Structure 1
């Protein structure tokens, strides 16, 4: 106890002697300056108030979106829906991480055999010589630098050696054995083609239910949630969503072929969209750590329903559509969105199915396809009473037991009513559809930027 008191006294003396505040209260200052950085592909949505809900007659008679004035804080939002190419980066990262983990574990198991090539994929050796005392302490006592639940147990994967995917180039039988475990069973193959078993592409992510923790006096650990999610989109939605309809080419090629790289990803459930947000946050924070940057970015997440509607309106009060007017065509007769203009007529607007994520004109916030193309998941649970019970400040009725999640914006297969910025719809969280995608948002640190 005396030793601790001595340390505190020395710290106080050092601070007092080294400061230039002349005894005045100056506040705690950081050694580094903070600069807000706009994420690539995102646009800043200024905070402000707006009239949320149906201003005109609710033709469908849903009566679930009465008008009210609400206020949202500023945030960044993706200019477009997440594309196949962007989502593929997530899938490929998960795939490669799993393969490298399997190779490293198998290499460790077979470490006595000096004739195999798998040591190229072994876990990285810990650089104990350059470890800080804290890192050494953590490794000695926990076997990890922080995530004690990691299946790697504190060890790092080696990413230097390229993975080999051509089966005729596999270096040895051991490598072949590991890779064989990643493919579908030989009995499920045809035409001599082996393909990856997409059900093995799983991503584990954890988060803290901060709102529940803040409202409770329980232990922090009781509010840490964890989930394992299959990340590959359900491409069969192109067949299952439509009976007696030939859509097999979309089933086979839409996510796989590079021709559709810039099209919005579909066949993604609400849970998969949340997992993507978690991975995107990790990707950015891992980069900052590699640059010895102690700061971390705010989480990428799905927009709340209020944030989505505010962004879709683009600053236009009482607008029916993101472009403002009450019509779905311009004064020259050109369609302003990708939807189903009339019964059975999908292609008159220029697209039979989806279109590129950056198509048509952006709204006044620089956001593309906030109406049509694909509907978008939000972070809000659907309830007919949401507008009655929700707060008017950053409203978000999130009920964990409610598996119905709000989707917004309408899609390529919907009529114009669902494209209106105030129209609400929902889908079950574990469902995947050929007409539902998503885009992400990130909180803006500060509150000084407003729409007014």
Structure 2
């Protein structure tokens, strides 16, 4: 016991002699200062309190949005809905990851000491000579330095070699074998053209249910959840949403053709929007991990219903629309959003379907099309009594068993009532529609200065 006490005393003496804080309480200093950086394409929503809910006549008699004062924290929000081009980046990343993984696995399987198959597309070699002691320990004990369930087994894909998509240029039969698995079966093809099997494009992501963990019991692993999602948008929504209507050109071209790159993506289910958020967080943090003294960024996510309404109002607390109101046209008679002004008249506002994501004037926060164009998924479950159930601080009613998710903003096919910032609507999370898209938000760390 005396020997232990002596060690403690010596340790205290050594610390006191070597410390530069002169015995004062100075706190633990970070190696670098934190400066919040605005993500590309986002604007800062300053946060604050506002009167949420319907403040004028409830013409639909929904009685689901009584007024109350709530407060939300600051956050970044996409200035536009996620576009086809942005969502394609996600789809192509998933597609290329699957192809590169399959090529590398086949190379492992078919290669030997005398013949290396698909050498250009092999996994990157693990440099054991430059491994840290931690990495060596993980490889020796777990066979991986990351996800033990990953087929990569601690190795990484080589993204430098270009993938070949033209069948006439495939380098060999092994490459052709892998690519054959990515296309629809030959019997489902016509005109001699095979197309990508979009059902193969799946993205697995995981998250930690921190709220359930904080309120529940059990081990941490019990609250780690994962989901495998088909990422390709449902382009058939342009046909299925409208009976006895010719919309086949939109079905064929809206997501595929570059003419629509800057238009909002549609046909995306709620879980696909969540998967996109996870992927966006991953690619940013993967990039930052290559930089010295870098930190991870907060997760990209869907906005809560309260955050969405606060942002849509643009600082105009008692407004009917994002631009104020009470009219949907300017003093010159120009429409201020893309919607259906009257029965059967879709095009008088300048567009039959959607318009470019940066159309019309932004609201006072710099956000485009918070009314009209496409409705937007939020993170909140729909309940008629949500406003009575939710907190007045960062309210968000999440009910896991409730598959109805709040959508906001109205769309190109809706009448003006659905464009009002206080109007609530919902769709089932496993549904995809030609009039529902999304935009993402990211928490702002710290406080804003006025």
TM-score normalized by the length of structure 2: 0.97
CA distance in 1, matches of 2:176, 2:204: 26
For 2:362, the equivalent position in structure 1 comes to: 362
Structure 1 pair 364/113, CA: closer, same or farther in 2 (3 Å)?
same
Alignment of 1:300-379 (within 5 A): 300-379=300-379
**What residue in structure 2 maps to residue 257 of structure 1?**
257
TM-align CA RMSD:
1.9
Query: C-alpha distance in 1, partners of 2:58/2:145?
Result: 55
Contact 2:32 2:293 in 1 (8 A): no
Q: Whole-Å Cα distance in 2 between the matches of residues 132 and 365 of structure 1?
A: 47
Paired residues for 1:2-401 under 5 Å: 15-112=15-112, 114=114, 117-401=117-401
* 1: CA distance, partners of 2:264 / 2:389: 33
Work out the CA distance in 1 between the residues paired with 2:5 and 2:149: 36
User: CA shift at 1:138, angstroms?
Assistant: 1.1
Residues 295 and 384 of structure 1, relative CA distance in 2, 3 Å threshold: same
Give the aligned partner of residue 431 of structure 2.
Answer: 431
Larger deviation, residues 389-398 vs 151-160: 151-160
Q: Which moved more, 1:33-42 or 1:137-146?
A: 137-146
Measured in 2, the distance between the counterparts of 1:73 and 1:361 equals 25
Question: Contact (CA 8 Å) 1:74, 1:449: kept in 2 or not?
Answer: no
Cα distance in 2 for partners of 1:187, 1:140 equals 47
How big is the shift at 1:115? 5.1
154-163 or 178-187, which deviates more: 154-163
SS at match of 1:227: strand
Distance 1:110 1:40 in 2: 43
The 8 Å contact of residues 72 and 393 in structure 2, kept in 1 or not, is answered as yes
Q: What is the aligned partner in structure 2 of residue 407 from structure 1?
A: 407
Structure 1 residues 7 and 34, CA gap change in structure 2 (3 angstroms)? farther
1:2-28 per-residue CA deviation (whole Å, 9 max, x = no partner) reads: 999999888766653333211011111
Q: Equivalents in 2 of 1:4, 1:280: separation in Å? A: 51
Q: Tell me the distance in 2 between the aligned counterparts of 1:423 and 1:2.
A: 73
Q: Summarize the Cα distance change of 1:446–1:183 in structure 2 as closer, same or farther, 3 Å threshold.
A: same
Q: Could you list the per-position Cα deviations for residues 277-321 of structure 1 after superposition, in whole angstroms to 9, with x for gaps in the alignment?
A: 000000100000011344100000000000000000000010000
Q: 1:4 to 1:60 in 2, by over 3 A?
A: farther
Find the aligned partners of 1:124 and 1:15 in 2 and give their Cα distance. Answer: 45
Q: CA 1:357–1:114 in structure 2 vs 1: closer, same or farther (change >3 Å)?
A: farther
- Secondary structure in structure 2 of the residue aligned to 1:290: coil
Give 3-state SS (helix, strand or coil) of 1:76's partner. Answer: strand
Unpaired runs of 5+ residues, structure 1, are none
| C-alpha separation in 1, matches of 2:164 and 2:10 | 58
Output the CA distance in 1 between the equivalents of 2:428 and 2:13: 61
Q: Is the 8 A contact 2:110 2:117 kept in 1?
A: no
Offset of 1:78 from its aligned partner? 0.2
**Aligned equivalents of 2:392, 2:175: Cα separation in 1:** 58
Q: Distance in 2 between matches of 1:99 and 1:4?
A: 59
Give the drift of 1:217: 2.2
- Once the two structures are TM-superposed, the CA of residue 131 in structure 1 deviates from its matched residue by 1.1
Residues 391-432 of structure 1 show CA distances to partners (whole Å, capped at 9, x for unaligned) of: 000000000000000000000000000000000000000000
Equivalents in 2 of 1:3, 1:359: separation in Å? 76
Aligned equivalents of 2:302 and 2:145: distance in 1?
29
Asked whether the 8 Å contact 1:380–1:397 carries over to 2, the reply is yes
* In 2: Cα distance, 1:177 partner to 1:410 partner: 46
The offset of 1:228, in angstroms, is 0.2
> C-alpha distance in 2, partners of 1:313/1:285?
31
Deviation at 1:151, TM superposition (A): 2.6
The alignment partner of 1:286 has SS state of helix
Residue aligned with 1:228, SS: strand
Deviations 1:234-262 (A, max 9, x none): 00000000000000000000000000000
Asked whether the 8 Å contact 2:70–2:393 carries over to 1, the reply is yes
CA distance in 2, matches of 1:125, 1:269: 38
Offset, 1:221: 0.5
Corresponding residue SS for 2:427? strand
